[in-house]
């Protein structure tokens, strides 16, 4: 007995990828609205200072305990050691949108298809 393609693992993955792509685009638009305002308003100064210290090779881990790995990745965008707020915000928009797509992909494999959007919205 053959199952319809929408009930097979391959069919579910194909549908999930389309949904994840849609959520990625919607999240890009949504987070893009906050680009000028900021996505982490209270942490942007700390983030920029940590990126600058990491790019210069003098990271003080006593001060920055929760962002240290993120500083290293952001510092790759600024080899001269001077971070740019617009670039940091653009990277955050893409990272958060990719996170929304990943959450949808995971939830589409775990919960019924009609409810897979709920974890992304929450």
Which residue, among 106, 112, 81, has the nearest Cα to 23 in the 3D structure?
106
pLDDT in tens, the chain (122 residues): 555 555 556 666 677 888 889 989 999 999 888 888 876 766 777 778 888 887 887 776 666 555 566 777 778 878 787 888 888 888 888 988 999 999 999 888 888 878 888 988 88
Domain around 108: 5-121
Domain count, the chain: 1
């Amino acid at each position: 007995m053959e199952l319809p393609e929408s009930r097979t693992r391959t069919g579910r993955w194909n549908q999930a990828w389309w949904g994840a792509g849609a959520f990625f685009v919607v999240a890009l638009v949504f987070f893009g609205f906050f680009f000028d305002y900021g996505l982490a308003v209270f942490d942007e100064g700390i983030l920029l200072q940590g990126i600058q210290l990491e790019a210069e090779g003098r990271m003080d881990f006593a001060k920055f305990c929760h962002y240290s790995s993120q500083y290293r990745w952001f510092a790759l965008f600024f080899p001269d050691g001077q971070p740019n707020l617009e670039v940091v915000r653009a990277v955050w928009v893409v990272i958060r949108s990719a996170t929304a797509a990943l959450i949808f992909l995971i939830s589409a494999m775990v919960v019924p298809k009609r409810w897979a959007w709920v974890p992304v919205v929450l």
